[in-house]
Amino acid sequence: MRRNVAALLALRMPQRAMTWPAAHDVESNLIKVKLEKGDRTRAFGTRVVDTEIQLVGLMIVRISEKGAMSEWNAHNPSAFVAPGDSIVEANGHTEPWAIMAEMVKAMTAEMVVRRATPRAMAFLADCEVTDRDVQTTGFLLKRTVSAGDVSADACAICLEDFEADEQVAGLQCGHSFHQRCLRRWLMRRGTASCPLCRETVR
């Protein structure tokens, strides 16, 4: 059975198969990548997932042919980025959800990318990103706030305390949760309500 994972669709364009260098399967070094959207209607052209695996992190699962990442690859063959590679930093952000939020709002992204490891490639082979994953992650990114701004003390799903400056998903009903926790909750079949008060999530 394939895993559903948090996903961000950065560019909604038809995808075609691309050929990647075989060396990507075994390399594990870091490369620096700088992407520019050019204008607000454009995107970086990557679909990423939060694997929730420490050594894999935020993994690239698809690169659009007409996006900024594809342009980078065309002009920088020695720093080629491929599915299975992981984004470990973007504009100073290192947490997967913070990186995804930055990729949504930033016009320029200075990234550190880790080449795919065998473990990442195994995860990629077993990874499925559905439209529902993309929509849920996009919704949670739009609802992201600082825990201190909404007076949230703890996530009612995992019961862990929030730090005041921690980024959380705040729902319209006023309840807040870790993005990962709330994503898992909302991805359950037939679930579209707050875990605490059951108000419909909008």
70-119 tens-digit pLDDT:
999 999 999 999 999 999 999 999 999 999 999 988 999 999 999 998 88
Closest residue by Cα to residue 143 from 164, 162, 169, 165: 169
- Determine contact, residues 133/104, Cβ cutoff 8 Å: no
Confidence of residue 1 (pLDDT cuts 50, 70, 90): very low
Structure tokens at 84: 């299975």
**Residues spanned by CATH 2.30.42.10 within the chain?**
3-128
**pLDDT tens digit string along 8-48?**
433 333 333 333 333 443 344 899 999 999 887 778 999 99
The reported pTM is 0.75
Q: CB–CB of 36/107 below 8 Å?
A: yes
| Distance, CA of 156 to CA of 196 (rounded, Å) | 8
Amino acid at site 100: M
If DSSP codes are grouped into helix, strand and coil, which group holds residue 43?
Answer: coil
Q: For helices 131-142 and 179-186, what crossing angle results, to 10°?
A: 140
Residues of each domain in the chain carrying CATH 3.30.40.10: 143-186
Nearest to 172 by CA among 135, 134, 200: 200
Architecture of domain 3-128: Roll (2.30)
Selected from 2.60.40.10, 3.40.309.10, 3.30.40.10, 3.40.50.9100, the CATH number assigned to the domain covering 143-186 reads: 3.30.40.10
Residue 66 is predicted with a pLDDT of 84
Q: What is the maximum alpha-carbon separation in the chain? A: 52
pLDDT-above-70 percentage for the chain: 85
pLDDT confidence of residue 30: 94
Averaged over 125-137, what is the pLDDT?
A: 82
What is the reported pLDDT for 132? 81
Please choose, from the candidates 53, 67, 79, 56, the residue with its C-alpha nearest in 3D space to the C-alpha of residue 9.
67
More confident residue, 110 or 5: 110
Bigger pLDDT: 165 vs 72: 72
Mean pLDDT, residues 61-75: 92
